[in-house]
Structure 1
Amino acid sequence: MEILKLAAEACDDKRADEIVALDLAQVSLVADYFLICHGTNERQVQSIARAVKETMEEHQISVKRLEGFEQARWVLVDLGDVVCHVFHKDERNYYNLERLWGDAAQVPLEVGQ
């Protein structure tokens, strides 16, 4: 849960939009949590993903995988139990992970307060 909060704060610091956390523990073996957010352009998407990666490194939390950074349309930051999905706004609407994983409960986040 600490990793989820740190990642959410990193996203919020870079002004990510619509930050949502899904609890997948009872729904899937993929991860315990998905953190989903979006940026309005490629530069912001990269900035958000970079902030998540750097925040984890500062806290000695390993980033298992970072995919899609160059294209900056859907960047996946794999933190093990937490998978952070940083979308470009258009891609987020298209893939709609919140609907796809509709059985997962939303986790309340306290960011930007």
Structure 2
Amino acid sequence: MDSKELMKLAAQACDDKRAEDIVVLDMAEVSLIADYFLICEGSNERQVQAIAREVKEKAEEAGLSVTRIEGFEQARWILVDLNGVICHIFHKDERNYYNLERLWGDAPTVAVESV
């Protein structure tokens, strides 16, 4: 599975758990860290954890291993590293503070509707 297909799988998993404001940044020309950053938010800690759990489960069902999950216990900003796609799942209150979309503003945005 290539990074684009993996990004689509992760975006669908986020949408399945009703993540809000899903944004995908194409990082291929901007960073060596990942091909895509997927950024979304949940309205409370339980929803943020549910979104992260769904991303992990969908990746594993597709035969992929999750490289790392950080921040699950606090559920304010969970990072799910899918090795090529990094999902940033924020609590609604934290997303505006960190504002990754502005920080990585030179990365093109991928339309989630096309995913």
TM range, smaller chain: over 0.9
Partner of 2:59: 56
Instruction: Give structure 1 stretches of 5+ with no counterpart.
Output: none
Q: Which amino acid aligns with 1:31?
A: A
Q: Which amino acid aligns with 1:27?
A: V
Asked whether the 8 Å contact 1:9–1:111 carries over to 2, the reply is no
SS of the residue corresponding to residue 65 of structure 2 reads coil
How far is the alpha carbon of 1:81 from its aligned partner?
Answer: 0.5
Q: Which amino acid aligns with 1:42?
A: E
Instruction: Give structure 2 stretches of 5+ with no counterpart.
Output: none
Matched, 1:44 2:8: no
Partner of 2:113: 110
CA-atom RMSD, angstroms?
1.2
| Paired-residue identity, % | 71
From the superposition, tell whether residues 57 and 111 of structure 1 become closer, same or farther in structure 2 (CA, over 3 Å). Answer: farther
Query: C-alpha distance in 1, partners of 2:17/2:114?
Result: 12
Q: After the TM superposition, which segments of 4 or more aligned residues of structure 1 sit over 6 Å from their partners?
A: none
Number of aligned residue pairs: 112
Q: Which amino acid aligns with 1:46?
A: Q
